[in-house]
Structure 1
Amino acid sequence: MRALKRILEGLLTVALLLVLAAGVHYRLFERGWFHLNQWHRGEPAEDASLWLPDYQVTIQGKVVRGIDDDLSALTFDPDRNSLIAVTNGNPHLLELSLEGDLLRAIRLVGFSDPEAVEYISAGVYVISDERRQRLLRVEVDERTTVIDAAHASQLSLGIDRNGNKGFEGLAYDKVGERLFVAKERNPVRIYEIAGFPYVAEAPAVHINQHQARLFVRDLSSLQFDERSGHLLALSDESRLVVELDGSGQPLSSLALDAGKHGLEQDVPQAEGIAMGPDGTLYVVSEPNLFYVFSKQAR
């Protein structure tokens, strides 16, 4: 009887340790605490934030025709009233309509692994090359058919280098002239870069770590909201969009799991997020899926 009791106690101890390990690995305790605080804050937080719980999906899992795989990154272009994305398997810069239709594809030459793209100004974008940890300023007009990395202004960084776990997301603050750069994982980080893409040489370029209180397993994309000054961080592995205030404090979240926000199925591999001028959120997922989330009136 004692032997059986000791065995049961040992099994219970192992089970508890496994639960604790899983909680730490998947950031479940921090995520749970955040959701509790989000619920507790309620209406005061809604008035001071985008309040992602009010968003519902209006287009879900639409296949982007003309793209087979590797649809990654997303940014809104206000001059063209369209979305810009990239593919990395067969590198291209893409233009999509706000309904998720492919409008244009421009071949990228000299890019090893383009993972993020961000609108800067009319015809000017920054593309991140993940493996080489470099940012490239490119210019595009109606006649552009090829973008060659050799002709682009570049900023190379060697921060926490870890193979294919480099720069996955970009966001730009036009007023503050700050470029936010997300490192995917190992470790998860958000950096602020001042100076680039208009200056590419030190000491004019300054890099700081953004003090974000993140509880996600990875980062795949960023979006800066000019109106609130808040940053949206997208995590593929956590299936979550988190809203961060100017000090990096998480305020609200949007889950990308089936049954949440009107989703019929999980978003399989969310890789890009962008926001339109009316607050509409656009999300792309590998291999070639397109989603739209709109804020619902209360």
Structure 2
Amino acid sequence: MRYDISRDAICYGFFMRLLKRVIVVVLLGVILFMVRDDIRYVYQLILKYGDKPSALALSSYKAVIQQKPVAGVKSNLSGLTYSAEDRMLFAVINNPPELVWLTTEGQLVGRMPLQGIHDPESIAWSGGNQFQIGSEKDGAVYKTQVDIQRGAMQIISMVKLEGYDKAKNKGLEGTAWDAKNERLYAAKERKPIMI
């Protein structure tokens, strides 16, 4: 028995395979376009730092406590830093803007409103009674002086971060203070991820 496959069926099969490949290529192009800034940033990091192993050996780090509710704080607790001066943890709440301080076991000790800082997302202790508080909405970091005894906070200065201010809810999410070099690091959440 002999089957005749028509020329139209062969052309149709070829066309469908070609169409599938074109669709896959277009989809890959769209995905790459959407993440291009992140890819470019990671590439720049690789060029700058290479594949150097971390001196901190973070891959072997295991958290003792994954998540702990803080009595007296309903939600929106964000950012966490340790003050060697006060021997306490400090965190910010973004809505309403507040600064809270806790024991190292996570017990709430005190709180105060953050006047003049909108949408605080991060905090870093920078020595003495000074803290760097990051505001996602403003794309800025505020250098503050905090007196927990009087429940008072004073803004010393403010720095706007380039590229962080128009990020809506994808902006400044973390700050860290390098005491040795007196340098502030700021982390952007996404689009693109940045430090």
Partner of 2:6: none
Q: CA deviation at 1:121?
A: 1.0
Mapped partners of 1:68, 1:117: distance in 2: 19
Q: Does 1:182 align with 2:187?
A: yes
Q: Whole-Å Cα distance in 2 between the matches of residues 156 and 144 of structure 1?
A: 26
Q: Which amino acid aligns with 2:156?
A: S
- Structure 2 counterparts to residues 1-298 of structure 1, below 5 A: 1=9, 2-19=11-28, 21-22=30-31, 25=34, 45=53, 49-147=55-153, 151-157=154-160, 159-160=162-163, 161-164=165-168, 165-190=170-195
By percentage of residues, which structure has more strand? Answer: 1
Secondary structure at the aligned position of 2:180 is classed as coil
Separation of aligned partners in 2, 1:90 and 1:18: 42
Paired with 1:19 and 1:57, the residues of 2 have a C-alpha distance of: 37
Please list every run of at least 4 consecutive aligned residues from structure 1 whose deviation after the TM superposition is greater than 4 angstroms. 23-28
d(CA) in 2 for partners of 1:23, 1:187: 13
Instruction: Tell me how far apart the structure 2 counterparts of residues 63 and 172 of structure 1 sit (CA, whole Å).
Output: 26
Shift of 1:24: 6.5
Secondary structure of the residue that 2:62 maps to in structure 1? strand
Q: Report the CA distance between 1:16 and its aligned residue.
A: 4.7
Rounded Cα–Cα distance in structure 2 between residues aligned with 1:132 and 1:144: 27
More helix by share: 2
Tell me the residue number matched to 1:243: none
Tell me, which stretches of 5 or more residues in structure 1 are unaligned?
35-40, 191-298
Amino acid at match of 1:80: D
Q: How many Å separate the matches in 2 of 1:124 and 1:158?
A: 19
1:119 CA displacement: 0.3
> Retained in 1: the 8 A contact 2:99–2:112?
yes
Say what the alpha-carbon RMSD is for the aligned residues.
3.1
| 1:23–1:68 distance in 2 versus 1, CA, 3 Å | farther
Q: Secondary structure at the match of 1:125?
A: strand
Q: Partners of 1:172 and 1:130 in 2: how far apart?
A: 17
Checking the alignment, whether the CA contact within 8 Å between 1:108 and 1:146 is kept in structure 2 is: no
Distance 1:79 1:162, change over 3 A: same
Contact 1:135 1:155 in 2 (8 A): yes
- Partners of 2:33 and 2:83 lie apart in 1 by 39
Are 1:82 and 1:96, in contact at CA under 8 Å, matched by a contact in 2? yes
Count the aligned residue pairs. 175
C-alpha contact (below 8 Å) 2:144/2:157 kept by paired residues: no
Determine the C-alpha separation between the residues in 2 that align with 1:9 and 1:64.
58
| Deviations, residues 219-248 of structure 1 (Å, cap 9, x unaligned) | xxxxxxxxxxxxxxxxxxxxxxxxxxxxxx
1:117 Cα deviation (Å)? 1.0
- Is residue 90–residue 99 contact of structure 2 (8 Å, CA) maintained in 1? yes
Change (3 A) 1:141 1:155: closer
- In 1, distance between residues paired with 2:175 and 2:91? 12
TM-score computed with the length of structure 1 as normaliser: 0.50
Contact 1:162–1:186, Cα closer than 8 Å, also in 2: no
Higher relative contact order, structure no. (Cα contacts within 8 Å, ≥ 6 residues apart): 1
Q: Against the structure 1 CA distance between its residues 22 and 64, is the aligned structure 2 distance closer, same or farther, given a 3 Å change threshold? A: farther
